[in-house]
Amino acid sequence: MPAVRRGDRLRTLEGDPARHLVHGLSEAGRALSDSRGQVRSRATLKQSIARWAFVPVVAAIVLVADQWTKALVEKNLPMWGAFAPFPALEPWFKLVHYSNTGAAFGLLRGQSSLFVLIALVVIVAVLVFARQLPTDNWAVRFCLGLQLGGAAGNLLDRLLKSGHVTDFLLLTLPVGGKVYQWPAFNVADSSIVVGVILLGILILGSDREHAAGERVTS
């Protein structure tokens, strides 16, 4: 039987279909792994962008709505004027044009410098807190966006209008011949209040779930 030379043996192995198949599968596996890594990287990038962008986007929507509605009121209603857009709701709701130097709902009038400082602190605190949140915590981010947009809306008013804020939503409650009036407010005030209330509800719900989980495990 003739001896198989070393070169012939190597050529035989190189031409082996099974060897080519294994090599092809290995290359395909590496390509798939690289592809999955790229997908994960893109997903991580999208999550990072979403984490950073969601709160400012919500805040920007609130800010635009706040400034747009204030501009409409300032253009179409004289100072201290009133208008009932829905006659059937006139006893309870009116549009007005008031100038406010206080906080939301007319509280602490004449303290504009203090409220500018408070608004700046709130804006920084919201941005820092939002950065610490888990990526998937969209509900809390939404609440923070509402508060950020509201704070920015009233801050912009104070900076551009010599410490004044435009209020235009007025709720009244007629009872027994008397009319009880809630202080006028605006979209920014509403956004801040709704954001705080929703955030409180989320925190209470989370605490209850945590307490229930502890009772189950104990």
Handedness of CA 131, 134, 138, 140 (dihedral sign): negative
What is the spatial distance between Cα 144 and Cα 96, in angstroms, rounded to a whole number?
28
User: Which element (helix H / strand E) includes 165?
Assistant: strand 165-175
Of these residues, 8, 16, 189, 207, which one is catalytic? 189
**Is 189 an active-site residue?**
yes
- Alpha-carbon distance values, 170 to 7, 66, 86, 130 (Å): 96, 15, 13, 32
**Is 207 an active-site residue?**
no
What is the spatial distance between Cα 172 and Cα 184, in angstroms, rounded to a whole number?
10
**Beta-sheet strands, E only, within the chain:** 82-83, 93-100, 165-175, 178-185
Of these residues, 16, 157, 167, 207, which one is catalytic? 167
Q: Give the residues across from 83 on adjacent strands.
A: 95
Q: Give the residues across from 171 on adjacent strands.
A: 93, 182
- Alpha-carbon distance values, 53 to 17, 31, 130, 145 (Å): 53, 33, 10, 10
Q: CB count, 10 Å around CB of 190?
A: 17
Q: What is the CA radius of gyration of the chain?
A: 31
Which residues are known to be catalytic? 167, 189
